[in-house]
Structure 1
Amino acid sequence: MHHLGPLTVHQFPCLQDNYGFLVRDEASGKVATIDTPEAARIEAEAEKLGWGIDLILNTHWHLDHIGGNAPLKERFGAEIVAPEGEGDKIPGADRRILGGDHVMLGETRLDVIAVPGHTLGHIAYHAPEAKLAFVGDTLFSLGCGRMFEGDKAGFWASLQKLRALPEETTIFCAHEYTKANAAFAMSVDAGNEALKARTAEVARLREEGTPTVPVALAEEKKANPFLRADDPALAASLGLSGAPAEDVFAELRSRKDSF
């Protein structure tokens, strides 16, 4: 359980490597689930805590993020809030939102950030008071999502938006991918001391069966190569000295895809 200012976040594994997040506004008792990877597990966790579910906050349309929408709406009467940019790919949405909008979870404001790249309409939810962000599949610890629908310029711009959040922001990523991401990151940025330290930490955490998520943005900015595509030293290590950052990002993403 993570207690972050006005919000409490209960995190738990779902499916093969997803995380479920139940988020409670302590002032009002209102609860949201960030995406719905596994309805039965989410329902069981909510009932174990004695929580209802008032809002379903979707980040993007992939099935491992919306698969439980309908049964959880039926069970709890939750309102489904979905990104407008995903069109009709998220059935049953009660409210559609865009970057620049906000959602109130009880008395806590969640700002909506458009982060296209993994999918074209992907959004993130940032709670400034709680100093946290739910970033779906856009950003992972030491990695980022696959570029299924977006383009390199758009995806790099999305990562820059997340990088620009306050350094004390806690990042909640949707998957436990960090160990594999660390192996790739070390292949392109082996001299990075912050990356070496994080890689060792991740190995220890996974050996203990402990999640590597959430992660501090301040640490991620130092260690994650996908947040450092505009670092000349990293560009040089890829043989891309002087190249635009979006091209460095695209090369990183391409190499990771085939790693």
Structure 2
Amino acid sequence: MYHITPVPAFEDNYIWVLCQQDNPSCIVVDPGDAGPVLAFLQQQQKIPAAILITHHHADHTGGITELQQHFPNVRVIGPAMEHSRIPQLIETVNDNQVVVIPQLDLTFAVIALPGHTLGHIAFYSAPVLFSGDTLFSAGCGRLFEGSPQQMWQSLQKLLALPDSTQIYCTHEYTLANLKFALTVEPDNAALLEYTQRCHDLRLAKQPTLPAELAKEKQINPFLRCTNKNLQQKWQKDSALALFSWLRASKDQFKS
């Protein structure tokens, strides 16, 4: 068995570290800052076998070089499309490839998710999904490089995963996302209940993540755009039209 720990960084980032008891190796995901990761590794007496990178933004890659200096044998694995923007990558991967981490007996499928960035990828090893900045709890990533259609198609890939999928995204954006979601569906009972639960978690200084895909299908407006009632309410004639409008509205939303 393994456990996955959120290592907080910056204002709202989580750097995920996957460990196994009695195993000195671990996996680090999207280390934007080396400092908190090094402190965690020292405390837990772990050595990273691999660093998984979902996309090129600095708050996901900024700690790679320092971690490589401390652990020169670590594999750094990330999107081939963004290699020029992440020169520290040792191994590059594309859609549908697999990444094997023998030290932890784990295999991840690579899922291409253009939208937030054009080369964005996720790493999936059931039930764990490291989704980077594509899918958040109650939200999705901003479209810095891709189009609404690309992001919508990327989210369809994630919607096809099992309901039990656990979403390990890299930002604690949940409460802000829920405020927007409630403007879209103020009478959604599942959304109201989930909002209260997440408020309680944050009051207790606990992360709201990981999120479960089954719940996200009930409460995340960006995953609910095929809902005919929502399309009718907001006078949109297709799922893509509703998604595009929601994403643009969220960009302007003041939480």
TM > 0.5 fold call: yes
Residue in 2 that maps onto 1:75: 70
1:234 aligns with 2:230: yes
Instruction: Write the deviation string for residues 36-81 of structure 1: whole angstroms up to 9, x where unpaired.
Output: 1210100110111110011111000000000001110110121211
Query: Which residue of 108, 111, 117 corresponds with 2:109?
Result: 111
Does structure 2 conserve the Cα–Cα contact (< 8 Å) formed by 1:25 and 1:108? no
The aligned runs of 1:21-100 (5 Å cut-off) are: 21-24=16-19, 29-77=24-72, 78-100=74-96
Residue in 1 that maps onto 2:178: 182
1:122 aligns with 2:117: no
Does structure 2 conserve the Cα–Cα contact (< 8 Å) formed by 1:126 and 1:132? yes
Which runs of no fewer than 5 residues in structure 2 stay unpaired? none
Letter in 2 for 1:173: C
Residue 25 (structure 1) shift? 5.1
The whole-number CA distance in structure 1 between the counterparts of 2:19 and 2:99 is: 14
Instruction: Write the deviation string for residues 69-111 of structure 1: whole angstroms up to 9, x where unpaired.
Output: 1110110121211101214010121110011011112211111
Query: Which residue of 189, 203, 221 corresponds with 2:217?
Result: 221
Does structure 2 conserve the Cα–Cα contact (< 8 Å) formed by 1:60 and 1:122? yes
Does structure 2 conserve the Cα–Cα contact (< 8 Å) formed by 1:30 and 1:105? no
The whole-number CA distance in structure 2 between the counterparts of 1:133 and 1:160 is: 14
Instruction: Write the deviation string for residues 174-225 of structure 1: whole angstroms up to 9, x where unpaired.
Output: 0000110000000011121111111111111112211111111111111100
Residue in 1 that maps onto 2:250: 256
Tell me which stretches of 4 or more aligned residues in structure 1 moved more than 4 Å.
25-29
Residue in 2 that maps onto 1:18: 13
Letter in 2 for 1:47: Q
The whole-number CA distance in structure 1 between the counterparts of 2:137 and 2:128 is: 14
Residue in 1 that maps onto 2:156: 160
Residue 26 (structure 1) shift? 5.9
TM-score, L = length of structure 1: 0.93
Residue 24 (structure 1) shift? 2.5
Residue in 2 that maps onto 1:3: none
The whole-number CA distance in structure 2 between the counterparts of 1:116 and 1:26 is: 35
Instruction: Write the deviation string for residues 114-144 of structure 1: whole angstroms up to 9, x where unpaired.
Output: 111000000001002xx11110000000000
The whole-number CA distance in structure 1 between the counterparts of 2:196 and 2:230 is: 21
The whole-number CA distance in structure 2 between the counterparts of 1:93 and 1:250 is: 33
Question: What number of residue pairs does the alignment pair up?
Answer: 250
Does structure 1 conserve the Cα–Cα contact (< 8 Å) formed by 2:231 and 2:238? no
1:201 aligns with 2:197: yes
SS of the residue corresponding to residue 6 of structure 2 reads: strand
SS of the residue corresponding to residue 54 of structure 1 reads: strand
TM-score, L = length of structure 2: 0.94
Instruction: Write the deviation string for residues 228-250 of structure 1: whole angstroms up to 9, x where unpaired.
Output: 1111111122221xx22111111
Residue 29 (structure 1) shift? 4.6
Which runs of no fewer than 5 residues in structure 1 stay unpaired? 1-5
Residue in 2 that maps onto 1:149: 145
Does structure 2 conserve the Cα–Cα contact (< 8 Å) formed by 1:140 and 1:178? yes
RMSD: 1.3
Does structure 1 conserve the Cα–Cα contact (< 8 Å) formed by 2:113 and 2:154? yes
Residue 21 (structure 1) shift? 0.8
Does structure 2 conserve the Cα–Cα contact (< 8 Å) formed by 1:188 and 1:237? no
Residue in 2 that maps onto 1:244: 238
Residue 30 (structure 1) shift? 3.0
Percent sequence identity is 38
SS of the residue corresponding to residue 53 of structure 1 reads: strand
Letter in 2 for 1:218: A
SS of the residue corresponding to residue 204 of structure 1 reads: helix
Does structure 2 conserve the Cα–Cα contact (< 8 Å) formed by 1:25 and 1:105? no
